[in-house]
Amino acid sequence: MKCKRDLYYVLGKLLISFSDFLKFIPDEKYLSIVYRGYTGNILDLNNPKGFNEKLQWLKINDRDEKYTQLVDKFEVKNKVSKLLGFNHIIPTLGIWNSVDEIDFDLLPNQFVLKTTHDSGGIVLCRNKENFDINKTKKILRKSLRTNFYYKGREFPYKNVKPRIIAEKYMEDDAQNSLVDYKFYCFNGEPKFLYVSEGLENHATAKISFLNLDWTFAPYYRNDYKTFSKLPKKPRNFDQMIEFAKILSRGFKFVRVDLYEIKGVVYFSELTFTPASGWMAFQNIDQDLAMGKLLDLKKE
């Protein structure tokens, strides 16, 4: 059974890789094809039950223009700073419309470059002495040319203006890499989170789902390793929960991503369709259990 699931997952990823050539396919039909590819199941948008299936329903039926600002990695900072305060926003060092506008000489020795309109498109510079500018430009140019919307038909990304931002390089003395705390919020309430470490290297990255009482939650992803023991609980965990409540208010579902760096909670991003609704659950029961938490009828 696991081999069959893995085969479907590979098929789904293959379909996504050809998304630029499938733009002519209407959204509902495209999502049905890719969902079948990833899961092996027929997408039922009339009576969605699993978490992945309900996210596909939201892609079709929840298309508020306000989402455009909320997934724009630059514009969202203005919104969130008004709710949480500027001290919880990672500083922006610059913003540009094209790679050629960037003056790398003016950037500090360490920084992070991101494209504002997609998932990914991130380049870390830990030391300018061995930083490959030409390689970086190629990565960013490719990202700028891509409309991320067409990969998973995620409406929030459709009209985001493609730009590049530089951010302050953030690091925590207590950790080798930043730990992400990603809160799954259903109808305005955080129910659980997952903790991830080392996502810049998929082969060694770890992800584990946790309940809000900091115990392991019964959800697992096939595509990542898990923590062998409970990761260290952040000092400001209660504040993180409160921030997740504030930022998820008014949404049927949103994932609120946060960091804790040197004792301060920082906003990372808002994600409305994690893994584009193709999450590789360990089994269908976990998908269905998570799906029960999402009430599509509730305003």
Residue 118 in this model has a pLDDT that exceeds 80: yes
Burial of 51 (0-12, 13-18, 19+ CB in 10 A): buried
Q: What distance in Å separates the CA atoms of residue 175 and residue 261, rounded to the nearest whole number? A: 9
Q: What distance in Å separates the CA atoms of residue 299 and residue 290, rounded to the nearest whole number? A: 19
pLDDT (0 to 100) of residue 3: 56
Question: What does pTM read for this prediction?
Answer: 0.92
Give the tens place of pLDDT for each residue, 259-272. 999 999 999 999 99
> Within 13 Å and on the Cβ side, how many CA atoms surround 137?
10
Q: What distance in Å separates the CA atoms of residue 288 and residue 64, rounded to the nearest whole number? A: 26
pLDDT (0 to 100) of residue 165: 98
pLDDT (0 to 100) of residue 132: 96
Q: What distance in Å separates the CA atoms of residue 280 and residue 230, rounded to the nearest whole number? A: 22
Residue 199 in this model has a pLDDT that exceeds 60: yes
Give the tens place of pLDDT for each residue, 273-285. 999 999 989 999 9
pLDDT (0 to 100) of residue 5: 55
Give the model's confidence band at 299: pLDDT under 50 very low, under 70 low, under 90 confident, else very high: low
Q: What is the mean pLDDT of residues 60-71?
A: 96
Residues with Cβ within 8 Å of 112's Cβ and at least 6 positions away in sequence, in order, are 122, 123, 124, 125, 166, 167, 168, 169, 170
- Which token pair is 243? 């921030």
Q: What is the mean pLDDT of residues 227-254?
A: 96
Note the maximum CA span of the chain.
56
Helices 75-84 and 237-248, packing angle to 10 deg? 120
Going from the C-alpha of 195 to that of each of 9, 39, 100, the distances in angstroms are 23, 24, 36
pLDDT (0 to 100) of residue 197: 85
Mean pLDDT of the chain: 92
Q: Indicate the range of 53-62, 194-203, 206-215, 245-254 predicted with least confidence.
A: 194-203
Burial of 216 (0-12, 13-18, 19+ CB in 10 A): middle
Residue 1 in this model has a pLDDT that exceeds 60: no
CATH 3.30.1490 in the chain: give the residue spans. Answer: 91-168
Give the model's confidence band at 217: pLDDT under 50 very low, under 70 low, under 90 confident, else very high: very high
Architecture of the domain spanning 172-291: 2-Layer Sandwich (3.30)
Residue 175 in this model has a pLDDT that exceeds 90: no
CATH 3.30.470 in the chain: give the residue spans. Answer: 172-291
Look at the block and give the residue holding tokens 């109808």. 187
Residue 39 in this model has a pLDDT that exceeds 90: no
pLDDT (0 to 100) of residue 18: 76
Q: What is the mean pLDDT of residues 107-112?
A: 97
Q: What distance in Å separates the CA atoms of residue 256 and residue 239, rounded to the nearest whole number? A: 13
pLDDT (0 to 100) of residue 149: 94
- Which token pair is 209? 């789902």
CA angle 165, 250, 167 (to 5 degrees): 15
pLDDT (0 to 100) of residue 248: 98
Residue 8 in this model has a pLDDT that exceeds 70: no
- CATH class of this structure's domain 91-168: alpha beta
